[in-house]
Amino acid sequence: MKTEQLREQLLSYLSKHKKEGFKSRQLRRRLEIPNEKEFQMLRDVLHSMVDNGELQWSKKQGYHIAASSNRIHGVLKIEKRGTGSVTTSRGIISIDKQSLGTAFNGDTVEAAVFVSKKEKKGGDFLGEGEVIKVLSRAHIQFGGTLQRSKNFYFVLPDDPTVQRDFYIAPEDLNGAESGDKVLVELLEWDDPFKNPEGKIINTLGAAGDPFVELRSVIQTYRLPTSFPKEVEQAAAAIPARIPDEEMKKRLDLRNTIVMTIDPHDAKDFDDALSIELLEGGSYRIGVHIADVSAYVTEGSIIDQEAFARATSVYLANQVIPMLPEKLSNNICSLVPNQDRLTYSVFMNVTDKGRVRKYEFARSVINSKRRFTYEEVETILDAKKGEFTEELNHLWDAAKILRKKRMKNGSINFDSPEAKFNYDEKGKPVDIFIKKRLKSHQLVEECMLLANQTVATHISTLEKEGETLPFVYRIHDLPDKEKLRTLEEFVRKFGYKLNVSQSSSSKDLQQLLTDIQGTKEENLITEVALRSMAKAVYSAENIGHFGLAFDYYSHFTSPIRRYPDLLVHRLLWDYAKGMGEKRKHTMNNELPAMCKHCSEREKVAADAERDSVKVMQVEYMRQHIGAEFTGIISGVIQYGVFVEINDILVEGLLHVRDLNDDYYVFDEKQYALVGERKGKRLRLGDSITVKVAKVTPERRQIDFVMAETDIKEESKGKKGRRKKN
């Protein structure tokens, strides 16, 4: 057990017994500390927690949490808008912009609560507070753009959670010049009324260059661009040939028709499919997943690195993998015509979509074909081509599964995704929205079913009152207040939503059906997504609201997601009989592991989003002066945000550039209203704009009203005057 895990266990236990105190030997029994070595660690942690004020100790009472103390240690999280929260062992403290002190996002801090939770309701919310002291820094290096004022240099951070510029003394420039993208290291910041001081330790290149900006994204999110030498060496030492003795242990599926379906540029094929038509119209669907656990052993140096990364990161123009290339693109990847180790789940599915029977097997396959989604789509449409029969059976089964899922209330969030075509230099020359094909749905339904089946299987192993250690993918019910906001939002477009009273997923499902094909579909889908809780990994199952599943996990992508690798190991543990010691260990370790994987998933998503923004900005820089038609996606006091149709590029039309009138912000109507002429720029309105300015280093796009739009407006007014 690690020190931090033990500390969290202690805080959790003592927080549940606030009115009691315990001696160290009592805590050893309560926490089931197995040996003297870990008992000594327990005593060391207790002493440390008393020293830093987390616990109090008295000879009579023993160790206990000081109920009267309003100071508590925790980790600070700062949002992009500048507000923050400190997550502690007792609950969450909200922090406003002015109360962050000298802390950065991720720092471990001491915070004080000054508004109690009695004044604000809600779960584990402790109250409002302020950061008193930074105990340890999460990071001391930050990416940004170096600029020069009249008398000094400063760095504008790329990380939106960093609210202050860094002051740079001339002697700490390290050769960097104004306009460079740089890496700055924090030297000192102990006064919240002054800016942090730093020194330049690396120059990335000229700010605004898309490749420099992408390097800055990688730096901002601290993504590893290479593997440690010892990890690469360990991967290189893994033999590509599968030993004969390993083959004999597995279900041999090498003569079965198994195929992969992936994007055209994919290299890590971690899932394959097979199907068999049974009597009575049922299907036997086989989902075969790369058995990464056969190569990445628990606790190995490759495993430690994979856990630290927790996920592959898919940036706009590159992939930062979770596993070394030899594993991810070679011996684990289910390439065609090669023997590969897999973990298979077979599911007998009726013509009503019910799973009548399932079984798991560690197997070996030899993929007969590597399909792209487009190739499968062509075969499904033409009803001819390689493995037509198998692909049509898979599509028929997928339609049945999808129909059943929708009937049960599963929400179909098909969030649009921007993709790029690049020139020979790697710069974007075209943006398009990824088209959702039948082949995508085919694969999706099979993977959803496999993930659901695995999680449901674990529930069948549990005895009454027993909870087995496992990794679930959970999605909580939506927040009522956010749903009320969503209801009000969609009403502006003429849609109804009645979920604030019932929390039913079917109402949301109906809304998304109603908006399909409309100009506001992308906008409403995005706002609806933001109103939902985020799906996360958890050792405690609460079900998946969005999918309307009671049990759900991630099993199908262990090459790129660490939780899937954990699930493979646990599934095998249960298949061969998990011992009590192993259960105890996993029960202690899984909550922290799930939390880490969820956090890394969010980091990856944010980095991916920023990399797409870099490429979108670069594309628009090539189109300054061009006109585009879009939809007003946001209205604020100083302008309207416009999202361009078909390419998902968003920019700002500033109120200062609206020269035809003086516009006032009407918050209730989500509109800017002209005082003299009464013209309204409302949320959801179609509008034609011209690209006026692009600021790549800030990833900003500025629009002005297009001349065509102004002329149309003028023509409309002339027509109205003539009619009158």
Burial class (CB in 10 A: 0-12, 13-18, 19+), 623: middle
Q: What are the tokens at 339?
A: 């023997």
Strand 62-64 vs strand 536-538: parallel, antiparallel, or unpaired? Answer: unpaired
Q: Which has the closest alpha carbon to 691: 663, 656, 649?
A: 649
Q: What is the pLDDT of residue 118?
A: 47
Q: What is the pLDDT of residue 69?
A: 58
Determine the Cα–Cα distance for residues 303 and 143; give it in Å rounded to an integer: 29
Chunked into runs of 10 residues, the chain (724 residues) has average pLDDT values of 76 79 89 86 86 74 69 88 86 89 93 63 72 91 92 91 93 95 95 93 94 93 95 96 95 98 93 95 97 97 98 95 96 97 98 96 97 97 95 97 93 82 93 92 98 97 89 90 83 77 72 84 81 91 93 98 98 93 92 95 94 96 95 91 91 92 87 90 91 92 81 47 34
DSSP strand E in 408-460: where?
A: 418-422, 428-433
Q: What is the pLDDT of residue 711?
A: 52
Q: What is the pLDDT of residue 514?
A: 86
Neighbours of 416 (CB within 10 A): 14
Q: Which has the closest alpha carbon to 564: 306, 228, 325?
A: 306
The answer to whether 527 and 634 are in contact (CB under 8 A) is no
Paired with 333 in beta bridges are none
Q: What is the pLDDT of residue 163?
A: 87
How far from the centroid of its chain's Cα atoms is residue 179's Cα? Answer: 32
Count of residues in the chain: 724
Q: Both ends of the chain: CA-CA distance in Å?
A: 83
Determine the Cα–Cα distance for residues 702 and 715; give it in Å rounded to an integer: 26
